[in-house]
Amino acid sequence: MERTLAEAVENTSGSLRSDALKERVRSASGRQLIFALIVAGLFTAIVSGFIFVLSTIVVFEKEAEKRELRSVSRVFENSKATILREIERFAASNAAYQNIDTRYSLPWVESRFGQEMAADYGHDLIFLVGRDGYPVYEKNNGKVETTAVPRFLIKGDVAALMRQVRTNYVVGLDRNNDGNTIFAGKNEDVSGLTTVKLGNHVGLVAVHAIIPDPGGIPMKAVAPYVLVAIHIMDDAYLKDLLEALSLDDISVAAEIPTGKIGVPISDTSEETLAYLVWRPAADASQTVLAWAPLLSAALLVILLLTMIALRQNYVATLALKRREQEAIQASRLDTLTGLARRDLFYEQASKTLEAQGDAKVWSAVVYLDMDFLKQTNDTYGHVIGDQLIINLTETVKSTCDKHDVFGRIGGDEFLLLMPGRASEAELLQDVAGLCVAINHEIVIDDLQVKVSCSMGIAMFPEHGETLPQLVRSADIALQRCKADGRGNYRMYDVAMDEALHEKRRIQEGLKRALERQEFVAFYQPIIAASSGRVAFAEALIRWKHPERGLLGPGAFLPVAEEDGSINALGAWILEQAISDASKWPETGVTVNVCASQLLEAGFVQRVADLIREYGLPPERLVLEITESVMMDRSGCIRQVFANLSDLGIAVAIDDFGTGFSSLSYLHEYRFQKMKIDRSFVSRIETDVEAGTIIRTMIGLAKVLGMTVVAEGVETEAQFKFLKRAQCDFLQGFYFDKPAPLEQVQQKLLLSA
């Protein structure tokens, strides 16, 4: 019984120990569960905080990327629109149509497209495509091998675009009341832009039909020539995009690399050829992921990093918005001067004119064009030319009223709206003051450079009720200012329009004058000062106009130089003079030659053929050129002079002292004769300095081994002075006026 009781106690004690153990187990399990829940809660909080932070950043970055994509797309489209505007300037032109469709002139095409267009806008490839769809002219700066390029001109997107342009052009042809063919379409109908693959490159291809602008010239009812300009999307192109976007990097890739975003570059069929890719500005998520192992340490750290990341993302968003606004603004501002470009100027100026309303004030548009900027760039370099542009910009800004609107619309062209003047006199006084402020000499890098600017003025609303009408009128006045000598200003009047019509009538007449043999040669004797004998006779062209009678060269030669017919006239007078002089016993002949003639292929050979055909000794032929020819310091010009010298033909520099003369030019080109301009001779009796200048010129010529001709001799006093000054030859009304061959022939025979 005692054993039974002991066993019972022992069993009870074991049961209690088992319950305590179970309780302890349950308690430990509860604490472990709580700890696990706490850990899980902390882990969940950390993970949730991390996910929240990361997802927030990703959302912000996606929005930022969308804005970057829109910004780059907008700048890319603006770039393409700029390329179309650039090609329009050269393709939509009366001169282009006349020198390509009307009468194809390779020298003009080379000068306009191969030199001016390539220099102004830096196109990598330029093609002029004929009516058959094949290139007739090509300009390549060497960046791309072009052996396969003509294929895309006759098939594919480019060929389709050119076909559409040609179709639109033909559809746009119409006839006016006189029955003449005119183009009644719009520029945008006959132009377009697409994208192509060129080997390893992607190129933007802009096309534009050759059309007259402003028109009013004869046209053919046929398919047009098409101008094609190609921009390779290389580092230079991407650099220009970066300047507008303020991105760190941008490149062209076949696919979008990991970690970057991109905008597709597609052709007209929406096929993606490549991508514009860059690393997005906002990439805070990468920073957060890099810190992921440490974020589990504490929620406080995660929250702190979240706040930092949010702030970084906020700052990045603000910066992106700012860059987007800067990119939009930059696309409408000139990068060199900060002035409004054409579109922005028109927008601002139109608003200013509209705000003026019916107020009794005076306003005007001034069209400014820097004179001789190309010559300055050729002589001193583009850095000096850019400094001249900046100087002009600062001068205009400092001189004009704060309400004036100023913009740069081309390389050397500017538009200025001067609104709200109290009177016409005040307005003209402001223009005159601006003209004086601009036209002066300045020093740039120790160089004394002359700033010359021509200006045309159109008053609102007398000369135009809309801004485009005012700009057109101001442009016409600008052309008159250039014709009158440059470096000044002219006010538009209706007579200038009549002058334009007169120029067009002259152009029409010139086209038929050679065929109808309406030109005649006049000759003016050149006297040897020592003997009084007629040594030479200068050949001068005259036009026996069927309606207006005999016209001097001033009535038609400037027009011929503009429309490209000057070379044909020069060839005619050269052959006529050589033919006539070959019949004279001993007297030589001098003939004026323009720069475009000298640059024609085979010019020297044609001269050699002519003197051989007519039997004229080469020493009896002198070719006169003006000083402007020397501004082209090309090896081609020097070689032409050298070849003429080898033939024994002398070259004289005409109108010396009135242009861009310099000792380096005289030494470099080695002229045989110098012709002193009549403006110096006319002042001999009234201006002591004129006499000193003439003696200096003669002395300089003697040192350089040249003979001297003084033109414009009209009095005995002038004759005696020049003879004492040891001038070799004399020419002017004092001896004889220009006359037809039959009147001069007898005098030449007697002189011999």
- Identify the pLDDT of residue 467: 92
Q: What is the pLDDT of residues 45-63, one digit of tens each?
A: 666 666 766 677 667 677 7
Helix runs in 564-676, H state only: 566-581, 595-598, 603-614, 635-647, 663-669
Q: Are strands 413-421 and 447-450 parallel, antiparallel or unpaired?
A: unpaired
What does the pLDDT read at residue 663? 63
Mean per-residue pLDDT, 414-421: 94
Q: Say what the pLDDT of residue 350 is.
A: 92
Cα distance from N-terminal residue to C-terminal residue, the chain:
179
Q: Give the residue-averaged pLDDT of 665-669.
A: 70
H or E segment to which residue 491 belongs: strand 489-491
Structural tokens at position 203: 């190129």
Mean pLDDT of 300-317: 71
pLDDT for position 16? 37
pLDDT at position 176: 87
Q: How would residue 725 be classed by pLDDT, with cut points 50, 70 and 90?
A: very high
Q: Tokens 């806008």: give the residue.
A: 121
Question: The tokens of 414 are what?
Answer: 């500017």
φ/ψ of residue 675, rounded to 5: -115, 115
More confident residue, 638 or 397: 397
Instruction: Determine the pLDDT at residue 13.
Output: 39
In SS3 terms, 219-270 reads as CCCCCCCEEEEEEECCHHHHHHHHHHHCCCCCEEECCCCCCCEEEEEECCCC
- Are 195 and 237 contacting, i.e. CB atoms less than 8 angstroms apart? no
**Span of 117-121, 261-265, 461-465, 664-668 with lowest mean pLDDT:** 664-668
**Tell me, what's the pLDDT at 365?**
95
Residue with tokens 């700012």: 322
Determine how β-strand 447-450 pairs with β-strand 588-592. unpaired
Q: How far apart are CA 722 and CA 708, in angstroms?
A: 10
Q: Would you say residue 326 has pLDDT above 80?
A: no
Between strands 226-232 and 125-129, the pairing is antiparallel
Give the model's confidence band at 9: pLDDT under 50 very low, under 70 low, under 90 confident, else very high.
very low
The pLDDT-based confidence of 15 (bands split at 50, 70, 90) is: very low
Report the DSSP beta bridge partners of residue 274: 265
Crossing angle of helices 235-245 and 2-91, rounded to 10°: 110
Query: What pLDDT, in 10s, does the model give residues 211-239?
Result: 998 888 899 888 899 999 988 888 777 77
337 Cβ neighbours under 8 A, 6+ residues apart:
389, 390, 393, 408
Residues 6 or more apart in contact with residue 282 via CB below 8 angstroms: 60, 61, 64, 65, 313, 316, 317, 320
- Give residue 340's pLDDT: 92
For every residue of 125-162, DSSP letters joined together read EEEEE-TTSSEEEEEE-SSS--TTHHHHHHSHHHHHHH
Among 19-23, 257-261, 420-424, the least confident range: 19-23
In this structure, what token pair is assigned to residue 79? 């770039």
Model confidence at 282: pLDDT above 90 = no
Q: Starting from the edge strand earliest in sequence, which strands make up the sheet with 251-253, in order?
A: 251-253, 272-278, 261-266
**Mean pLDDT to the nearest integer, 593-621:** 91
What pLDDT is stored for residue 683 in this prediction? 92
Cβ atoms of 623 and 591 within 8 Å: the answer is yes
Contact 180, 218 (CB under 8 A): yes
Q: pLDDT digits over 147-169, tens only?
A: 655 566 667 788 888 889 999 99
What single-letter amino acid sits at 427?
Answer: L
Q: Which pLDDT belongs to residue 50? A: 61
CB 261 within 8 A of CB 282: no
Residue 304: pLDDT over 80: no
Above 60 in pLDDT, residue 535? yes
CB atoms within 10 A of CB 521: 22
Query: Given pLDDT bands bounded at 50, 70 and 90, which one contains residue 20?
Result: very low
* pLDDT tens-place string over residues 469-516: 999 999 999 988 988 888 999 999 877 777 677 778 888 888 888 888
Q: What is the pLDDT of residue 708?
A: 95
Provide the pLDDT for residue 45.
Answer: 64
Match 């139109």 to its residue by tokens: 350
Q: Is the pLDDT of residue 450 over 60?
A: yes
613-653 confidence digits (pLDDT tens): 999 999 999 999 876 655 555 567 788 888 999 999 999 98
pLDDT at 442 > cutoff 60: yes
Q: pLDDT value at position 12?
A: 35
> What's the pLDDT score for residue 657?
67
CA angle centred on 279, ends 80 and 285, rounded to 5°: 140
- How many Cβ atoms from other residues are within 10 Å of residue 361's Cβ? 15
Residue whose tokens read 């895309």: 152
**Which pLDDT score is estimated for 146?**
60
Which contacts qualify for 543-546: CB closer than 8 Å, 24 or more apart?
Answer: 543/513, 543/518, 543/519, 544/518, 544/519, 544/520, 545/509, 545/513, 545/518, 546/516, 546/518
Label residue 18 by pLDDT band (50, 70, 90): very low
pLDDT above 70 coverage of the chain, percent? 83
What mean pLDDT is reported for the chain? 82
Q: Each residue of 56-86: b (16+ CB within 10 Å) or e?
A: bbeebbeebbebbeebbebbbebbbebbbbb
Q: How confident is the model at residue 14 (pLDDT cuts 50, 70, 90)?
A: very low
Better-predicted residue by pLDDT, 70 or 738: 738
Buried b (16+ CB within 10 A) or exposed e, 626-662: bbebbbeeeeebeebbeebeeeebbbbbbbbbebebe
Average pLDDT over residues 446-463: 90
Tell me the residue ranges of DSSP E strands in 18-165. Answer: 125-129, 135-140
Report d(CA 141, CA 137) in Å as an integer.
14
pLDDT band at 355 (very low <50, low <70, confident <90, very high): confident
The pLDDT of residue 2 is above 50: no
Question: Strand pairing partners for 545?
Answer: 549
In this predicted structure, what is the pLDDT of residue 609?
95
Residue by residue, what is the 3-state secondary structure of 625-643? EEHHHHHCCCHHHHHHHHH
